[in-house]
Structure 1
């Protein structure tokens, strides 16, 4: 599993990175010391999990999760015990209180492994209602997805179909190598993108093969460029 280490204290980052290095199936994708750095690093490297400090200067660890449309699995690592209830309210996989031992970290990693095995449902077709019937769309048919209140509109050429779901939830059932979130309310099938234009304020205009144009969010710019093989 690929993990990111977030802690405002450099010695703590180094110690945790060293301890994680004793687990052959764990790769530390990076480390950072502030909430802003963490948001950017998670968007750029898309780790499977993040070991996240709670109390940091400026925004705290919970603010990091608030900024992410599709956060990775989280293990909070903190010297404070008072945040445990809130941590599990945001579906943290585990909560490590410093100073912890190697054995306790190993337990957290075991919980992460189990969580990651069960997190992503099997990729399947998308059931959409069409005039009293249910049509089963293969993911290969879909051009893009747009959040629309309590629904997601699934676009196939000029047609669109509402599905009662969240964009995050629907994306979790699809191949993450085929679909990419480009905005808080938009995801596109990557092989549909035909050309890309950089706009004045840093957004990207993605023109699809059927002529539709999607505007990415600035926060997603680097991730979109990386996914499409464009220079950063």
Structure 2
């Protein structure tokens, strides 16, 4: 099997941090570090010169931040943030970063991050296609991006421009996706819209109860509190469940 090589640039104002990461990357033959930069202006020039596939990017740097860099340069490759601060994980998620690594980085954690490259490439190429029940999606859970199985999703709840995803193993995370996008891409055999702000996995439905106001509450296996279903969606669910 041919292994794709990725050209990488390391951007960090700390020389020792760059050196440590280069040392770790020597264990990964498919990652070729073509340059390193200690500030945003230097990084811009190197990105334009080398056209890298991957950036290892620090966030807090003197003068301008890693986010400032991304606003100034056109880069369509993969981004792995490498930082000592966990406060920027959500913003990193918003710009579709491949991962968010906290210093100091272990070889094991780096390996997990790099293993996502090929999987993420496949995910990007299929971004507009319908999802299969066996497919996976990247979801931000706490401080980490998790490659989550569609089949493990019990409930999806709208949260503004984001969605909150609840799983069968009692975890939850967020993803930048609207209810309309979920409706268009999720396998209809398993998932059903029950409210303007909720989608459920039919595999986990335990019982449905009628409420006093003609709405319904749905009890899902693995979720303690029932989920409201509006009358508007009740007929569609009834047809789906026979």
Q: TM-score, normalised by structure 1?
A: 0.50
Q: TM-score, normalised by structure 2?
A: 0.48
